[in-house]
Structure 1
Amino acid sequence: MEYKHPFVTSFGRVEHKDFYIIEVIDEDGVSGFGETEAFTTPWYTEETTETNRHVIEKLLVPLLVATPIAHPEEITERFQKIRRNNMAKAAVESAVWDLFAKKKKQPLYQMIGGTKQVIDVGVSIGLQTSTHQLLKVIEAKLSDGYKRVKLKIKPGNDVELVREVRRAFPTIDLMVDANSAYKLSDLKILQQLDQFSLQMIEQPLANDDFVEHASLQKQLQTPICLDESIHTYSDVKTAVALGSCQIINVKMSRVGGIKHVKEIEKYATEHNITLWCGGMLEAGVGRAHSLAVASLGQFTLPGDTAASDNYWHRDIIAPAVHVKNGQVHIPNKPGIGYEVDREALEYFSIEKIVLNN
């Protein structure tokens, strides 16, 4: 699917998304849907769209259908023998959760313990061709009602960029995302960001370095948020123990599925760590699952679950995800709450794989 506007980060430019929709069908013909959220190259995590396909087709589906399951939470233990590959696991597990919720005639967000049907949302804005263009985009997004703006930054495109945004929009909730573009030796640059009253600096340093993030947090007034660093429940405990961050961006696909999200949310509640739900530039099925996750109680900051039309000319769900006054109302229907638009799915599909038990 082609994006309406290319999305540019410190890692590069993303113009389209190749992904798999996972449809799980039970003996009664009821379907549940999941979505792979990896990219075509391993710039975000080590996974890619094609490694997702291989792991799902050759390893996860055989494990899933080996014996019946009574509850989606059983899948986590069944998949433990496969290391990492969290996005592949999450795509399958989330499809089964959707199916299970439909069988129980209950909205998914309620089934997983969510308490909010109305979700506050922000918007993530990629690097633009000029500061003038960035300010125009921000103004348009604020006019659409988004409650928080996230800017992508990188070395050489940071302090002065944020200064201009703050000058134009002195009171908006503002955060920046570095996607691991900085080193601890860039401390003086990052400290200059303290003057702009940011909600957070997301993932400033290397994705695998909790120790340096802890050192940086001690020397910054602005809260650090970890994103790419958090793949497991154990990662969360490490970050909290070391003081590597004050906020965590939780993405269901990155941590391996809904069961792991629930474990992380419980731990974060007990340790007063703020959570919010990030986005993966996903299509409608993945976005619907993210909204369900964002309904959990400790997810207290606006998520990156922006409207479908922020990304796509046409989404693959009906209705599309709409934002009104900076909020998304999750449909009170069984499962993810949205129907897959079969016609749109067929239009965008380039291949279909059927696996039978």
Structure 2
Amino acid sequence: MRIQKIELYHIKMPLKFTFKSSQTTLKDRETIIIKATDELGNIGYGEVVAFNEPFYTDETLMYSKDILEYVYIPNVINKKIEHPFQIHLWIQPTYPMALAGLENAIVDLYARRHKKSIMDVVFNEETNKSIYGGIALGDLEVENLIEQIKFYKNEGYNRFKIKIKPEDGLDKLQGIREEFPHIQLLADANRSFKKGQIQILKQFDELNLTCIEEPLDSGDFQEYNILQEEMNTPICLDESIQTLEELNTAIKHKALKVVNVKVGRVGGLYYAREMIKLCRENNIQFWIGSMIESGISKMLHVHLASLKDTYIPGDLSPSKRYFEKDVIMPEITAQDGMITVTKGYGLGVEIDENVLKDYTIDYKEIGEE
């Protein structure tokens, strides 16, 4: 297989609501859609999920764009590729989100070319045909959070992740837990607590949380070890874990009980698979997170979340929750809180080229026609 052409669509998708965390506020979502074409005309799609500002990781969308155009894509154009994961021999994951988007497009292309699904290419094991959806809610007033949880519970959802900050996170979660004693409840602090606030964090144990995600601003594994020894609530790491080496170190330091695996953050499906293997070997729970992203990346996470030993439902909900129109056909939908894992080759969905072009604010083509 040879990649003959790669197209980069820098898109801007208006959100249906303003999403707030302790680190940022989003009204629109800009990403880069990568379209790869081989010498036979087969096509695959991937997505770069970096943000415009470096609040989540240091990699920004513009860094991703430049490294793709001038370094990563020239390394794969017109080279013979036996398997998509071969590109990891040529490219270091210095910019993991850029690398993930490129790899995902090549995996999708390869799967379609060989008439296989994404999971047939990446994992050789039985998976679930449908998955439970999960709702991630921003840093909102507690009354608003309770109202939204009521709405989504009526839609069949039972797993909710709440963005929190030190000033009022505990109060919000206490209010939610009082109203909903039996839901699966997670807290995501996005590194907003300091080492000196451990006593506040210990109070979260009374809330029966499924886990607390990224509480400490330092990201120091030794500090997480101390915190986990003092807390009953499982600590889940997300943005602190970008490489296999970091995950291995965190496990050795006993800094976590759970890890949130996001394909874009860790550098692609190859690295996601290796992290899942490492978790299985060390009795660390894993679950499949998600970004605010288009259906191209979201559907990839739906497939990954179909693994039978995932810890909890991921941050996966219908396309219509975020966007008036997604770029995939069919869009992601849920019935009674359940999402069907698409069948078919590659991602199992098609791309609505008209919608993609409508959202495009910049376009580049690299390689031959």
Task: Assess same fold via TM > 0.5.
Answer: yes
Following superposition, the deviation at residue 207 of structure 1 comes to 5.7
Q: Distance in 1 between matches of 2:355 and 2:49?
A: 18
Query: Residue 348 of structure 1 aligns with which residue?
Result: 359
- 1:288-340 per-position Cα deviation (integer Å, ceiling 9, x unaligned): 11112222344231001211111111111011101122221111110001111
The percentage of counterpart residues that share the same residue type is 34
Query: Residue 322 of structure 1 aligns with which residue?
Result: 333
- Tell me which amino acid in the other structure corresponds to 1:327: M
Whether 2:87 is the aligned partner of 1:64: answer no
- Tell me which amino acid in the other structure corresponds to 1:71: H
Give the length in aligned residue pairs.
354
SS in 2 for 1:2: strand
Following superposition, the deviation at residue 247 of structure 1 comes to 0.3
Query: Residue 334 of structure 1 aligns with which residue?
Result: 345
Query: Residue 206 of structure 2 aligns with which residue?
Result: 195
Query: Residue 9 of structure 1 aligns with which residue?
Result: 21
Q: Distance in 2 between matches of 1:319 and 1:66?
A: 32
On the 8 A contact 1:269/1:298 being kept in 2, the answer is: no
Q: Which moved more, 1:298-307 or 1:47-56?
A: 298-307
Whether 2:97 is the aligned partner of 1:87: answer yes
On the 8 A contact 2:290/2:315 being kept in 1, the answer is: yes
- Tell me which amino acid in the other structure corresponds to 1:253: G
Q: Which structure 2 residues correspond to residues 234-313 of structure 1 after superposition, within 5 A?
A: 234-313=245-324
SS in 2 for 1:3: strand
On the 8 A contact 2:306/2:341 being kept in 1, the answer is: no
Query: Residue 110 of structure 1 aligns with which residue?
Result: 120
What's the RMSD between the two structures over aligned residues?
1.2
Whether 2:42 is the aligned partner of 1:34: answer no
On the 8 A contact 1:147/1:302 being kept in 2, the answer is: no
- Tell me which amino acid in the other structure corresponds to 1:316: V
Q: Distance in 2 between matches of 1:230 and 1:207?
A: 13
Q: Distance in 1 between matches of 2:14 and 2:225?
A: 38
Q: Distance in 2 between matches of 1:249 and 1:185?
A: 25
Query: Residue 135 of structure 2 aligns with which residue?
Result: 123
Unaligned runs of 5+ in 1: none
SS in 2 for 1:6: strand
Q: Which moved more, 1:157-166 or 1:92-101?
A: 157-166
SS in 2 for 1:134: helix
Unaligned runs of 5+ in 2: 1-12
On the 8 A contact 1:91/1:257 being kept in 2, the answer is: yes
On the 8 A contact 2:221/2:255 being kept in 1, the answer is: yes
Following superposition, the deviation at residue 161 of structure 1 comes to 0.8
Q: Distance in 2 between matches of 1:276 and 1:174?
A: 14
- Tell me which amino acid in the other structure corresponds to 2:129: Q
Q: Which moved more, 1:213-222 or 1:292-301?
A: 292-301
On the 8 A contact 2:131/2:305 being kept in 1, the answer is: yes
Going from structure 1 to structure 2, the CA distance change for 1:356 and 1:321 (only over 3 Å counts) comes to same
Query: Residue 233 of structure 1 aligns with which residue?
Result: 244
Q: Which moved more, 1:242-251 or 1:111-120?
A: 111-120
On the 8 A contact 1:90/1:257 being kept in 2, the answer is: yes
Following superposition, the deviation at residue 147 of structure 1 comes to 2.9
Whether 2:174 is the aligned partner of 1:170: answer no
Q: Which moved more, 1:89-98 or 1:141-150?
A: 141-150
Whether 2:169 is the aligned partner of 1:155: answer no
SS in 2 for 1:21: strand
- Tell me which amino acid in the other structure corresponds to 2:55: W
> How high is the TM-score relative to the length of structure 2?
0.93
Q: Distance in 2 between matches of 1:57 and 1:175?
A: 38
Structure ranking higher in strand proportion: 2
Of the candidates 207, 222, 226, which is equivalent to residue 211 of structure 1? Answer: 222
Going from structure 1 to structure 2, the CA distance change for 1:217 and 1:230 (only over 3 Å counts) comes to same
